[in-house]
Structure 1
Amino acid sequence: MLWLELHTSRGIVNFVTYYRPPTATTDSLRSLHSALGAASTSLPIIVCGDFNTPDVDWLTTSPKVKSPVVDTLCEFVCDNFFSQLVSHPTRGDNILDLLLTTNPDLISSVRVTDNLPGCDHDAIHFILSTSIPHQSTIKHQHVLYNYKAADIDDFKEVLSRVSWEVIDFENGDIELPWSQWKDLFFSAVDYVFPSVRWNKRKMKHWFSESTIKVIHRKKHLYREYKHSGNPATLRKYKSISSLVCSKCRQETASHSNLVCQQSHTNPKHFWRWINTVKGYHNPIPPLHDSGNTITKDSDKESLFNRYFCSVFTKENTSNLDSLTPESSHPTIIDLISITLEEVHAELCHLSVNKACGPDNITSFLLKMLQIIFPFLFVTYSTNHYQQVLFPFTGFQEILF
């Protein structure tokens, strides 16, 4: 067995070549099954090679003759949701060389040609698509951190080794040091916490592993029937379709009951579930202005701003006394006092269910790392007054 990772513009594709001797037992197939089970299930897999198993009906993925090897091969193909794409014999009247994949859309133009030089098997030619799909088919993915897969104490240790002294607090502007602090902080976050990508099109998160497996089996039977048109496959597909509907209804009902029970403690999750069930999105439709159709969000925003400004009442200030400032100097606040105890008290009351602010620091990190956050503040004395540099952009809405 030879395993290759193909890095393409479309992503990583696992490519496996395999040879099973004619006299080999089921151990060879089980070793292949175990190796594929250790691979990532989110990446497409292509397995090709000489399996030396002629007694398989690939229209139905069922044995022609009962034997341990044939039964193991059929089980291997079904358990991994493979599609077998070779439909013509590769040696004599038998299909011995197979092309298996978990993503048939990647492969096209499969054909069997004459014998290879010095070999009694025919050659299999196919085209592997590595191009990026059209932009309209790409769905936006959100990057999330898997907090359960890391240790908070390890994160604190990493932060304690960060060279915070490189932050420039001497220029009098808080935006620059705050940006530098975020770069250091998120570098530590990326080092400790593994990131996961959440796609809106993926399977419902409340489905159990057994239900997901049945759904994949249903999709496999559908593709198999479309390819073969076998009535037996259609009967299997109809049978498993009713099972899928039943399991999905049961688990969706159980999840909805759980969400309703937790509505008082987690209302955000409750309303997100309601909007999902209702399919409620409420986007602003295209607007019409002087015969022009406005579709871009920025243009809609400008149009609304102009409209709201036009309806405001302009006050007549001619009869009002003019207010002359007593001094041209701005008012200076001599002392701004923010203690760490006050900050920690506010952080303790944060809800981890709340969304993060504009700086993308989640409430979970703020709540769990309260001891770390004295790095956020720098206090120094200049010209008989004390000034506290505070990152208002990220924490003003939290503390005030």
Structure 2
Amino acid sequence: MLESLDILDDSFAFMANMDDVITSSPKPTSNQGIPSEYNVSRKDRNIHGGGVFVAVTKRYVSTTEYSLDTQSEIVWCKIEIAGTKPLHIGSFYRPTDNKAEPIQQLNISLSKITQNGTLPNVILGGDFNCPDVEWITNTIKPNPQYGYKVNRALLDTVEEHGLIQQVKEPTRLNNILDLLLTTNPDLVEQVDVCPGMSDHRIVIAVINVKAKRITKPPRKVFVYTKMNKEGFKNDALAFQKVILTSNERSTSENWSHFTNEIGGMVEKHVPQKNIRERWDVPWLSPEIKRLIRKKQRVYNAFKKYKSDVLWEHFRKIRKTVHREMTKSKNDYNCWEKILVTRQNNPA
């Protein structure tokens, strides 16, 4: 299907759900060349061309989010997903200069989406033209081409809104210029960088509109604080007389009889309930969990008192949580690779 989009002459692109969504930052003059089964959200640069657009299959309920528009080359659309949060898809372009204003305007746009306590599902793609960001460590290379201010503004925006960069291969020469940012990396199943129709390569991603989760079955637990102590005591005393006066069983038979009877008493006198366990990822350390709980407490206080001070405090903690989770996950993945390498090469 990408071959039919002949207007993509300088583009970032990604496909989600088997060609259901295409975003790009080309130089369009009309919707000609885009298949008719797509709804198009677009922001043109001027009459000479340029701009950004998002095309979404008509099988989804999608709307252009005009309220998120700012003074930068960015366009947003929202896809309604049954049974889960909507998916916000954005396309962005930053010119090749040392001005930080486009990133600052992007930050304003994102702030309108992430102003609640829980992060929404966001997929943001585009040509960011920041070749000197090391995305594995979220650091800036020495003497960046477009200046420190631009690169710092981009990293601050990514941290501020809990975004994680998914493109790992160069998209132009040896640089990663075209990015795929998301608040929910579990949505991204696969990212490929393929030959394009210009000096940029095309980024193609497979996106799940609803993240797959491995759920554990509920397990039964006993609520000992509500047990019938008197009933348990009476049954235990009666059983004591029986087992002490029995000389016909072996030691192993007595032990089996004892455990069965005690288990039956617990079932009889202790209330039960089913609980579902949370699926904790291995890099979610106790320190990060404490930060997450602190973040939630501050947000609850903000909802109650509507204080600007509490909101700023919440934003700072949210940035810290995102930074620590990213670092912890990268460290975990690094150790996983080391272990796999040692297993494959024991010598």
Do both proteins adopt the same fold according to a TM-score greater than 0.5, normalized to the shorter chain?
A: no
Using CA pairs under 8 Å that are at least 6 residues apart, name the structure with larger relative contact order, 1 or 2: 2
**Structure label with greater radius of gyration:** 1
Give the TM-score taking structure 2 as reference length: 0.43
Task: Point out the structure with the larger strand share.
Answer: 2
Task: Point out the structure with the larger helix share.
Answer: 1
